[in-house]
Structure formats: structure tokens, C-alpha cells
Structure 1
């Protein structure tokens, strides 16, 4: 993961989440059978599985009736069948639990996407300003060390020249043969 930017990482996480959701959604959804032209009331008194083969039917456990799903209202009213006793799509889960499970899953997905987006925006803002400040500090430190190094070099040269002058080793650079004059 070294060398990946925050934006690349967030993009990969979002792609992974969307891919997992799509794969999970396709695996858990059973193929919907073609609607049967027979009315739902024909399946009353039979089994839930027979009733729910037709996607427009709703099975009510309390009185073992197969009813037309009320498409005009999103949720079936309690006058038709109680939510906890209604089955639609699958016989093993009641309509109330189906709605709760779907809303929880949708909420988790939306919360995950929102948090990921907020985190990415926060990281992008804070990381760019933090790196700029760190880079400026490094440049200042480097210049300071170079100045100190030059100052120590000048002091060292002055000190060495004083020692050479003290012992007569300071050479005159104007005349190339000046070191042979004293001999």
C-alpha cells in the first residue's frame, strides 16, 4: 500500500464496497419467476410457497390466505393482514422483519459511504496542508544547517590562519617563491 495516495485508497475502498454490495445483492436475490396469470385467491388454503410463486401475491399466515399485494399502498395495511403475519417474496421471513432488515442494510451502506467520503475529504485537506508545513520546516532546517556549516568553516579557516601566522607558516600567495626566501 506504499505509494498510494489518500484519493487512490478511498477510490479503491469505494470500488470494493460497491463490488461487494453488487455481488452480495446478486447472490441473495432469487430469480423472480414470471407472474402467473391466475388470481392469488386460488392459492388460499394451500401452501405459502405456491402462493408466493406469483410475485403479485401476499401470503397471510393467520388465516392461510393468498391475497393480491396492495400495490397502491407501499406497505400492506393491517386491515388486510398484520405485518408480522404477512409473507412476501420468501416464506421464511415475515414482512416486518424484511422491511427492518432491508432498512438496516441500506442504513449501514449509506453510513459507510458517508463516513468514507468524509474521511477522504478530511484526509485530503489535512494531509496536503500538513505536508506543506513539514516541507517548509525541512527547507528552513536545511538552510540553517548550511549557514551554521559555512560559519564553522570560516571560523576554522580563521583559526588555522592565526596558528600558521603564529608559527610563521602563513604563506604569501602574491609571490609563488616566497616560501624559499627565508632559507
Structure 2
């Protein structure tokens, strides 16, 4: 098994060489076409100067001094950076708005559902309470009928003790 002290510098050397060769590779394609230049992802084609340049990854967008955004091509020859930036920002804005609308609708629908279930539970409670009152009234009527039947409906004999 290789020692990490040997492996780490070797990896750094390989990455450094890859970067150097990539830098040279883009500049070597200056006399070619946009399609040939953009076959390498790290290359940028400038239509105005007809040059294949190494993409400036540190600045994210190519500076105007290197190539104007209208003339810069990266990835696709038919789409310039300005169009790409506008398209991506519109898509991101639409996506954010869609997520916000979905969140708003879901929260609102959730509240409507809970109101609906609360109303259903309240109706059920009212129905149960009405049945209970009805049974209580029936029970009172039965007790009264029994008292009348056995002659116990007069004054309460225990009322004089209270």
C-alpha cells in the first residue's frame, strides 16, 4: 500500500499538469471553429475576436475586457452569455415563485382541511348532545309515569327533613 506522503504530492502534480495542459489546449484551438473550441468544457469562444480562451473560473462570468457577454460562447455556440444569464435567472425566479405558491396553497389547504374536520367534529358533538338530551327527557318521562302508576307523584315525603 502506498504511503500518503508519496500519494498526496503525486496527486497535486497530476492536477497541476492537467490544469497546465488544459490552459494550453484552449489557446491551441484559436484558429479553429466554435464547435471545436467548446468540445472542452474549460474553454470559452469569443466570436468578436474568434479566439478560444480558457474560461476564467475565478470570476464566474468572463470580464468584458476578455470578451463581451454578447460575444462570449460557452457550452453551446448558438447561445451567448447574456441570453444564458437572462434565461437562467427567469427560470430560477419562476421556480422560486412556484415553490412559494405551492407552500402557500398547501398551508391554506391544510387549514381548510382542519376547519372542515373541526366542523365535522362539532356537528357530531351536537348530534350526540341532542341524542343525550332526548334520552334524558325520555328517562324523566318514564320515571314520572312510574311514579304516577304507583302513586308516588305527590309531594316528596323527605322534603320536610331538608
Query: Which of the five TM-score ranges fits, normalised by the shorter chain?
Result: 0.5 to 0.7
- Correspondence for 1:121: 107
Structure number with higher helix proportion: 2
- Correspondence for 2:10: none
Q: 2:88 aligns with which of 62, 82, 102?
A: 102
Distance in 2 of aligned mates of 1:45 and 1:85 = 17
The RMSD of aligned alpha carbons is: 3.1
Equivalences, count: 126
Using the size of structure 2 for normalisation, the TM-score is 0.62
Shift of 1:58: 0.7
Distance in 1 of aligned mates of 2:69 and 2:117 = 56
**Structure 1 unaligned residues grouped into runs of 5+:** 1-34, 156-172, 175-183
Q: Does 1:69 align with 2:55?
A: yes
Deviations 1:128-169 (A, max 9, x none): 1332123203431464477579979x99xxxxxxxxxxxxxx
- Correspondence for 1:49: 35
Q: Which aligned runs of 4 or more in structure 1 are off by greater than 4 angstroms?
A: 145-152
Distance in 1 of aligned mates of 2:41 and 2:132 = 79
Q: How does 1:72-151 map to 2 (within 5 A)?
A: 72-141=58-127, 143-144=129-130
Distance in 2 of aligned mates of 1:93 and 1:138 = 64
Deviations 1:11-31 (A, max 9, x none): xxxxxxxxxxxxxxxxxxxxx
Where relative contact order (Cα < 8 A, 6+ residues apart) is larger, the structure is: 1
**Structure 2 unaligned residues grouped into runs of 5+:** 1-18, 142-148, 151-162
